């Protein structure tokens, strides 16, 4: 029987129900995500070709903007590089634009060094962090069952930071599968340009170094991380209690569920929603063959997803 562990304590909390209040606008936004209506501004046409370089080396034919557009379309429609080349060519032909089409070899080579623009946020950010796994493309299930595999399938870990207010992914880092989540916090914070109001993460971020790292970057930010069940107060709790000490005392007084509501930890579910949205829109696998190209692939997927969220988001209310 599944879920036998703690069976007596299960299903006592009813599942929350929500109703989308702006369904018409949200429905239109979902359709717009798959629209093939593409336009090129005059600025994009002028910036399609790379500017002449003044240093030694070969002259690139295409600007970073052209490569970014092609790789973004590849991420949205989950295409191989050759199919991406065909899609770009057909779009330029339909629009009647006299622009050269970057070939698949150029897209693969330029993805190695492409700098994708980072998203930005205006006001104080409630940053929600988490990580997930992305598999690497390899033998299919039929081939594995038929012939077996020589080794374990490899995968990569994606660390993200999500703005709780807008749902946009403001920071992302792609690492190997054995990297600790807490080790990437400083790299994620370096990508945040706006002031930080709070830092929210699950129990994997319950580390002393996390509190000090967040304090160095944003001294006024709240660190909302659930302490372990075996957590104890610090030695200087009576003199200078830390944020972690206050969390432990709050849990002892109001319970873990009460602490989650009072501290705002319940918003952490939004980062899991963002991860699910990213995998459903752009897929859960990496198609590139090197780590630097995989990083570019993830950055383009994140940028495309953030643009989709600008079309519209659901506004839901909880049904009592």
CA dihedral 194, 293, 72, 67 (to 10 degrees): 100
- For residue range 300-309, list pLDDT tens digits in order: 999 999 999 9
pLDDT at 318: 84
Question: Which whole-number Å values give the CA distances from 122 to 118, 171, 194, in the listed order?
Answer: 13, 15, 6
In this prediction, residue 1 carries a pLDDT of 45
108 vs 140, residue with greater confidence: 108
pLDDT digit string, tens, across residues 282-296: 999 999 989 999 999
Residue 279 CA to its chain's centroid (Å): 10
Please report, for residues 15, 18, 268, the alpha-carbon distance to residue 317 in angstroms, rounded to integers and kept in the order given.
14, 5, 17
> What confidence score (pLDDT) does residue 52 get?
82
Tell me the angle at which helices 64-77 and 269-282 cross, rounded to the nearest 10 degrees. Answer: 90
* CA separation for the pair 61, 77 (Å, rounded): 25
Task: Give the residue extent of every domain in the chain.
Answer: 34-110, 125-311
* CA 82 – CA 8 distance, rounded (Å): 55
* Residue 288: closest CA among 88, 65, 85, 107: 107
Q: Tokens in use for 254?
A: 């109001």
Fold observed for domain 125-311: Nucleotidyltransferase; domain 5 (3.30.420)
Convert the pLDDT of each residue in 2-59 to its tens digit: 555 666 655 566 777 889 899 999 999 988 888 888 788 888 888 999 888 777 777 7
């Amino acid at each position: 029987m599944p879920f036998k562990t703690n069976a007596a304590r299960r299903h006592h909390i009813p599942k929350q129900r929500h109703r989308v209040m702006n369904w018409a606008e949200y429905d239109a936004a979902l359709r717009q995500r798959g629209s093939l209506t593409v336009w090129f501004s005059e600025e994009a046409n002028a910036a399609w070709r790379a500017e002449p370089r003044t240093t030694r080396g070969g002259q690139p034919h295409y600007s970073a903007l052209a490569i970014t557009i092609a790789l973004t379309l590849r991420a949205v429609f989950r295409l191989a590089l050759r199919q991406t080349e065909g899609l770009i060519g057909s779009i330029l032909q339909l629009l009647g634009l006299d622009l050269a089409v970057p070939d698949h070899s150029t897209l693969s080579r330029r993805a190695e060094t492409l700098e994708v623009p980072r998203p930005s946020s205006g006001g104080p950010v409630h940053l929600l962090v988490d990580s997930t796994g992305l598999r690497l493309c390899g033998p299919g299930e039929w081939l594995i069952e038929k012939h077996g595999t020589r080794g374990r399938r490899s995968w990569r870990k994606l660390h993200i930071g999500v703005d709780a207010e807008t749902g946009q992914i403001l920071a992302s880092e792609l690492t190997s599968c054995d990297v600790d989540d807490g080790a990437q916090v400083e790299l994620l914070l370096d990508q945040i340009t706006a002031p930080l109001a709070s830092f929210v993460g699950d129990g994997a971020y319950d580390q002393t170094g996390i509190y000090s790292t967040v304090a160095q970057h944003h001294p006024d930010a709240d660190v909302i991380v659930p302490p372990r069940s075996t957590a104890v107060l610090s030695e200087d709790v009576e003199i200078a209690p830390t944020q972690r000490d206050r969390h432990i005392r709050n849990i002892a007084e109001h319970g873990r569920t009460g602490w989650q509501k009072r501290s705002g930890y319940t918003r952490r579910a939004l980062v899991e929603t963002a991860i699910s949205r990213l995998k459903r829109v752009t897929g859960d696998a990496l198609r590139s063959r090197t780590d630097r190209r995989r990083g570019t692939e993830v950055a383009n997927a994140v940028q495309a997803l953030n643009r989709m969220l600008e079309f519209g988001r659901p506004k839901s209310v909880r049904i009592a």
